[in-house]
Amino acid sequence: MTEETNTKEAPSRTDAVNAIANQYFNNASISEALALVPFNTLIQLVKNQVVTQAKQEVGGMTDEQVEGLLKSAENVAPPEGEQ
């Protein structure tokens, strides 16, 4: 085989892998997907997303809004396990 032939075959194999992976993904149920991810990893992913969203929201706030938020947060109990 020449290098040109290998170059032509590589994208088609990559496309085939992507097509099969997409079929698996489309057929996966939420319970199957969750079974593949360790619980602690899932929790960490959710925490990362929540922090990212919070940073975006705070970034769009005025200083007065931030101050008001912090004052109202003082009256909220911390999540279970955190104190």
Segment 3-50, tens digit of pLDDT: 555 555 567 888 899 899 988 888 888 888 788 889 999 899 999 999
Distance CA 83, CA 77 (A): 9
Q: What is the pLDDT of residue 62?
A: 93
Q: What is the pLDDT of residue 81?
A: 67
Which has the closest alpha carbon to 32: 41, 40, 20, 24? 24
Q: What is the pLDDT of residue 9?
A: 57
Confidence of residue 51 (pLDDT cuts 50, 70, 90): very high
